[in-house]
Structure 1
């Protein structure tokens, strides 16, 4: 079973990468772009076949290693 973990900076946390991307887009002539936030997506191939157990395992991985839960939030989607 595949799990996709999407990790983003929490609201109120400075995002210099997002700010740089937003500035670069404006410099390239892309008008009308508001705030830009940059995160990461991690895809996991899990041996677990039970969706509830796979969801719980991916969330535990995100909490313990993949996301810094002090400054980042995460979402897990199963495919």
Structure 2
């Protein structure tokens, strides 16, 4: 898992390697800001304040509880 993450990051910054370090850091900052903006747009479609994985677990647990009571 760690190797995949490192390789992903390296491929992510590959076009930036020829730049000076200050410009590399600035470009990484801009990429992260874009990612956060995309996440915020995705979050607007959520129905509750939890992440989608936790929402799914809650629904599964509620269904199990209802089925056990029947």
- TM-score (normalised: structure 1): 0.28
Q: Specify the structure having the higher radius of gyration (Cα).
A: 2
Looking at both structures, which has the greater relative contact order when contacts are Cα pairs under 8 Å and sequence separation is at least 6?
1
User: Higher strand fraction: Structure 1 or Structure 2?
Assistant: 1
- TM-score (normalised: structure 2): 0.30
User: Higher helix fraction: Structure 1 or Structure 2?
Assistant: 2
